[in-house]
Structure 1
Amino acid sequence: MTTSEPLGQGDVLEAADDGVQMWQRHLFIITADCDFAHRKHQGRVTCLPLLSANEYHSEMQLPGIRERLAEKPITEVINIIQRSKGLQTSPMRIREWVSEADTVEIIEQLNLSGKDADDAKIAIDSIRLIYSDATDLNSAIGALIDAQTTGPNPPKREKAIQRVMSPIRSAYSNPPGDALFVSSFSRDHFEGYFAYLRHLEQVWQQDIATGPTRSPIKYRRISKLQDRFAHSLIQRFAQVFTAIGLPDEYEQVRDMHADMIGEEFQ
């Protein structure tokens, strides 16, 4: 790619300002070449964000992992409250409670003692660790592993690691339909990235530099993805927004029919 080539689909942009949010730092242009040629885009360049692997996992993968791992200790706390106090509470209330008060305060407010207090402390501390703030992906992963190994009925460390790492690793070989792994997009950017297809950014074409310039700019073109990868990204983007979902009632009836097959053999 030379600086004389016009801006086009598949080009990768880098923000001139290092302080922009991750959604604006690196962008992949999806505006069609014919739109550029015939100025159909009215100067607006539509882009998808290219997130670093750490950013993608922290934003898209960890929240679901946290929810799954929190089910066990939250259920433990609910069972203790119901068994010792005869009170009903919800998982949402337990999560809120843990964020509002420290462990000792919660146990005192529930007036727990003995084994109930000990079990509640273990579960509450596990919940707190699962939802704790982390400065980076490795710190978050470490907290999720520790939350399991120090929580109620702890698994072996190998199992705890697998529960966290398996969904993260599978995002590379089997990414969800709204993302695609890109190993690199320039000589200086080779640490692994994910194109996220549900977030769009628009940049004015006049704010993009395709070569050296002294004019103030917001973005510079730094590379162009190979056609095969670019076309795959565009295809995936289209599929995300053209898929037609079916109503819940349909899925419920469908599952009922599936369950009915072979009932006489149960």
Structure 2
Amino acid sequence: MAIVDTSPLGQGDIIRRTSRTDDIWDQVAVIVTADCDIARDKHAGRLSCVPLIPVSSYLAISFLPKRISRIEIAIYEKLLAIMRQNQIALLGPDAVAISPKRAKHWLLSTEPLAICRRLAIPDEQVESFVALADQAKRLTASADQSFDDQVARICESEHALGRGESAKLRTRLSNDIAAHLRDLPGDALFLRHQTSDGSDTGYIAYLRIIREIRDERVAIKASQMSYEITHERWARLSPPYIYALTQRLGNVFSAIGLPEEYEASRDECGSLLIGNTDAS
């Protein structure tokens, strides 16, 4: 265990599961229950926690898939142009052009060489068409893969589109990721944790998910470890970060949107207060 003191559990304590799980939302969490509620036993023995997920996992869920989608569009548009060009050459200018949806389905369900033969794509275009079609399949499949796989497919695909060399593309993507982390949405807070072996790990506190964990199942010292224990205290946030997290958590759930009808009614009321001053 990273923290060896026996002070009571409190707001800002970071806990982690004692058993292995592949669910990134249920591995590490930070306690957000107020210290005064814990001290006065107002929390009924239940600790409210928000999940901490590795930065790479967060990016693989929230940031990289959007980039993959944009690159996908560019690749499939390029493939579609080649397919339509050869479709016209094969069937004549009056042929009904293949739709983007049908073309994508065909590319994902059929070997590229078979498409080349069906559309009579010239030999000098076959190699580049097949390579681009294979890359499109790998890119589409990467949307549900790991951060490293997504990064690799993004850079490969942009290189295939002629957008630069791999090293420069990785640098550009790295800069974009850094910019995204500087401007996270209000429901996410970046936290950096130095582990006991000295390595740095970045986490995102995701504030839209709140889970309850019974405090009796969280160990704060090694002697408490037993089969009934599900979590252990691992680390603790320092005051500035506890306050920032609490403030953001409140902002996430205090913002209340109102319907468009309300907005229209308000604007109309404002316009009618003065009325029509046209003398004519």
User: Is the pair's TM-score, using the shorter chain for normalization, greater than 0.5?
Assistant: yes
Deviations 1:195-251 (A, max 9, x none): 22233332222211122214321001122101110111122222233334577898x
Partner secondary structure for residue 226 of structure 2: coil
Q: Which runs of 5+ in 1 are unaligned?
A: 251-266
Q: 1:168 matched to which residue of 2?
A: 177
Deviations 1:178-211 (A, max 9, x none): 2222121653563222222233332222211122
Q: Report the alpha carbon displacement of residue 170 of structure 1 after superposing the two structures with TM.
A: 1.5
2:202 to 158, 172, 192: 192
Cα separation, 1, equivalents of 2:259 and 2:115: 42
2:9 to 7, 22, 26: 7
Identify which range, 222-231 or 72-81, moves more after superposition. Answer: 72-81
Q: 1:258 matched to which residue of 2?
A: none
Q: Report the alpha carbon displacement of residue 15 of structure 1 after superposing the two structures with TM.
A: 0.8
- The letter for the 1-side match of 2:252 is V
Q: How does 1:1-266 map to 2 (within 5 A)?
A: 3-83=5-85, 84=87, 86-90=96-100, 96-108=105-117, 111-114=119-122, 120-133=129-142, 136-151=146-161, 154-157=162-165, 160-184=169-193, 186-188=195-197, 190-212=200-222, 213-216=224-227, 217-245=229-257
Cα separation, 2, equivalents of 1:182 and 1:131: 31
Cα separation, 1, equivalents of 2:168 and 2:194: 35
Does the CA-based 8 Å contact 1:12-1:185 persist in structure 2?
no
Q: Which runs of 5+ in 2 are unaligned?
A: 88-94, 264-280
Distance 1:81 1:214, change over 3 A: closer
Scaled by the length of structure 2, the TM-score of the pair is: 0.73
Q: 2:275 matched to which residue of 1?
A: none
Q: Report the alpha carbon displacement of residue 94 of structure 1 after superposing the two structures with TM.
A: 5.1
Aligned length: 248
- Runs of 4+ deviating beyond 6 Å: 246-250
Q: Percent identity?
A: 25
Cα separation, 2, equivalents of 1:132 and 1:48: 30
Distance 1:166 1:113, change over 3 A: same
Cα separation, 2, equivalents of 1:7 and 1:168: 34
Partner secondary structure for residue 201 of structure 2: coil
Does the CA-based 8 Å contact 2:194-2:201 persist in structure 1?
no
Does the CA-based 8 Å contact 1:129-1:144 persist in structure 2?
no
Q: Report the alpha carbon displacement of residue 37 of structure 1 after superposing the two structures with TM.
A: 3.0
- Over aligned residue pairs, what C-alpha RMSD do you find? 3.3
Distance 1:215 1:241, change over 3 A: same
Cα separation, 2, equivalents of 1:95 and 1:202: 44
Does the CA-based 8 Å contact 1:185-1:225 persist in structure 2?
no
Identify which range, 73-82 or 7-16, moves more after superposition. Answer: 73-82
Partner secondary structure for residue 234 of structure 1: helix
Does the CA-based 8 Å contact 1:13-1:221 persist in structure 2?
yes
Does the CA-based 8 Å contact 2:29-2:51 persist in structure 1?
yes
Scaled by the length of structure 1, the TM-score of the pair is: 0.77
